[in-house]
Amino acid sequence: MSPLRIKTNKNDVIEFGSGEIDRLATSLRGVMIRPSDESYDDARQVYNAMHDRRPALIVRAANVADVMATVRFAGEHQLLLSLRGGGHSVPGFGTCDDGLVLDLGALKGMRVDPAGRTVHAQSGCTWGDFNHATHAFGLATTGGIVSTTGIVGLTLGGGMGYLSRAHGLSCDNVISADVVTAEGTFITCDEERNADLFWALRGGGGNFGVVTSLEYQLHPLTEVFGGPTFYRIDGETFRNYEKLIADAPEELGVIFAFARALPLPFVPEEWHGKPVLAAITCWSGPSERDDEITAMMSDLGSVVAQAHWRMPYPEINTLFDELLPRGLQHYWKANVAREVSDEALAVHLEHGPLVPTLESGPFFFPINGACHRVEGGATAFAHRQATLSLVISGSWREPADNEKNILWVRDYYDALSPHCEPGGYINFMSADDQDRAPDNYGANYHRLREVKAAYDPDNLFRLNQNIAPAS
């Protein structure tokens, strides 16, 4: 077998003989995939098809021991290392050219403690896996809005979803974490053990180690009430949404967007594909108030179409799945805001209606309520004073449309930036946002650099919204 050439973090290339690679392979219970293997093309694919990369080696870990062995190998040679859980990283951090990919997707273990209302979930679990397991016990916690998203990547960045106002961010519900450090050692962290690392993981992204499992606090929840409402576009409807989010019961989560009306059965045909405002509602409060919630949403503006129903909680986290399948092209930009100024609203009203595809849109996630009851320095998540987290999400099907759709995202972002807070939510950032790290991590950035220096001084874990180790 010919030697295997793997890129390092310094863009050098190390040539490995078959003996060295075979020794790594024999230390694994999982699968090692080389470019010559039949399964390679499938194994290298990630959610965002814009990243058509060719790793030198892919390790599909079967257990934590495999993670430890792979990290030790990567660390010993300072190899370019990508960590992949659900594979949903829009910047493509879960893959790389000529480096080593550590794929955690097979780590699907999950154990629910219904008495303690907690769950231990391994890093290969998606939110679909998570919600299925916890729903059986009538329990849930804040998670993502696309069920195929991995739990760890979303949580480490903060974690926003329909339950954020009621129960805080995903990271606010983390009780402990199991981590393989850059040295390949296994540790557990919580408020008492390795507390500095535990703090950094909750909002600092994948900078500090390989998280192999997370323990979450769960909350009683079986059903929710909600669904989409589409409105004619006008500024007053947006202002009404802001007032609603400021004053509504915390059990009401509403993601707001400029969008194109989907060709759904309840949408009048003449509106299919037309620019609209959209609200996706999730009411986790008592069913006696369902009609009141529908009325509240109807009163926001001129309704084009609406569909609300009672559903199992896991269902609401699948409503975007069909619209956003694996294999689309994605490019995003993000900001946060304490309030939307008149100048910012004018930008939204100019650029929002130009949303180029059914899959795209600027999406506003509310992060008040329970999110604001956590002190700004209690976790590494930096935006506790913001009320809205915005992602200008460009998503489309054909690579030939990349240039024009990326331009729409960038033009929108450039026009809006002077009217927003300086940073944004790291899970909504693109690969070209690395220079925004000090603003994205805000007042916590310097403390995060100290933790990075303690746990990963050589920056082995650099394929992320990277935090440089303190000198």
Residue position matching structure tokens 């893959």 = 95
Helix axes 342-351 and 235-247, enclosed angle (nearest 10): 120
pTM flag (> 0.95):
yes
Section 112-131 average pLDDT: 98
* Length of the chain, in residues: 471
- Rounded Cα distance, 58 and 95, in Å: 9
**Phi, psi for residue 135 in degrees, rounded to 5:** -65, -30
What is the per-residue pLDDT across 78-88, written as a single tens digit (0 to 9) for each?
999 999 999 99
Q: Which amino acid is at 362?
A: P
- Rounded Cα distance, 409 and 396, in Å: 12
Residue position matching structure tokens 């310094």 = 10
For position 204, what pLDDT does the model report?
A: 98
Q: Name residue 259's beta-bridge partners.
A: 276
* SS3 labels along the chain: CCCEEEEECCCCEEEECHHHHHHHHHCCCCEEECCCCCCHHHHCCCCCCCCCCCCCEEEECCCHHHHHHHHHHHHHHCECEEEECCCCCCCCCCCCCCCEEEECCCCCCEEEECCCCEEEEECCCEHHHHHHHHHCCCEECCCCCCCCCEHHHHHHHCCCCCCHHHHCCCHHHEEEEEEECCCCCEEEECCCCCHHHHHHHCCCCCCCCEEEEEEEECEECCEEEEEEEEECCCHHHHHHHHHHHHHCCCCEEEEEEEEECCCCCCCCHHHCCCEEEEEEEEECCCHHHHHHHHHHHHCCCCEEEECCEEEEHHHHCCCCCCCCCCCCEEEEEEEEECCCCHHHHHHHHHHHHHCCCCCCEEEEEECCHHHHHCCCCCCCCCCCCCCEEEEEEEEECCHHHHHHHHHHHHHHHHHHHHHCCCCCCHHHCCHHHHHHHHHHHHHHHHHHHHHHHHHCCCCCCCCCCCCCCCC
What is the per-residue pLDDT across 327-351, written as a single tens digit (0 to 9) for each?
999 999 999 999 999 999 999 999 9
CB-based contact 85:153 (threshold 8 Å): yes
For position 1, what pLDDT does the model report?
A: 63
- Rounded Cα distance, 227 and 231, in Å: 14
List, in order, residues 6 or more apart from 410 with CB less than 8 Å away: 333
What is the per-residue pLDDT across 207-258, written as a single tens digit (0 to 9) for each?
999 999 999 999 999 999 999 999 999 999 999 999 999 999 999 999 999 9
Section 403-430 average pLDDT: 96
For position 2, what pLDDT does the model report?
A: 77
Average pLDDT across the chain, whole number: 97
- Confidence class of residue 3 from pLDDT cuts 50, 70 and 90? confident
Among 40, 4, 42, 35, CA closest to 20: 4
| pLDDT > 70? residue 58 | yes
Q: How far is CA 427 from CA 23, 90, 144, 145, in A?
A: 36, 8, 11, 13
- Rounded Cα distance, 95 and 42, in Å: 13
For position 427, what pLDDT does the model report?
A: 98
What is the per-residue pLDDT across 246-258, written as a single tens digit (0 to 9) for each?
999 999 999 999 9
What is the per-residue pLDDT across 9-24, written as a single tens digit (0 to 9) for each?
999 999 998 899 999 9
153: left (phi over 0), alpha (psi -120 to 50) or beta: alpha
| pLDDT > 90? residue 402 | yes
The first and second tokens of residue 177, run together, are 């974490």
